[in-house]
Structure 1
Amino acid sequence: MLASYGALNAFRTRHIRAIVISIIWGLMIGLGIYTNAISSIKENKTIYLSKPEVPLLLNSGLAESEKADVSIILWFENSEIPFNILTSKPTLDWVWSYKELQIPNEKGSFTLTGQHLIDKNEEQILFAWYTTMAPQIESAGGRIYLDERVPQTIDISAYLSQINAIPTQYILSDNIMSTAAYQDTIETSVMAGQDKINIQLLSRGRNMEGQSVLAIPVLLKQF
Structure 2
Amino acid sequence: MDTGFFIKYYRYFFNGTMMTLAISFLGVIFGSLVGVILSLMKLSNNKLARAFSSAYIEIIRGTPLLVQIYLIYYGLPMILPMDLGRMTLGTIAVLLNSAAYIAEIIRAGIQSIDKGQSEASRSLGMSKSMTMRYVIIPQAVKNILPALGNEFITLVKESAVLSVIGIHDLMYNADTLRGITYRPFIPLIYAAIIYFIITFILSKLLRIFERRLEASDKSI
Q: TM-score, normalised by structure 2?
A: 0.21
Q: Which structure would you say has the larger Rg? A: 1
Larger RCO (CA under 8 A, 6+ residues apart): 2
Report the structure, 1 or 2, having the larger helix content: 2
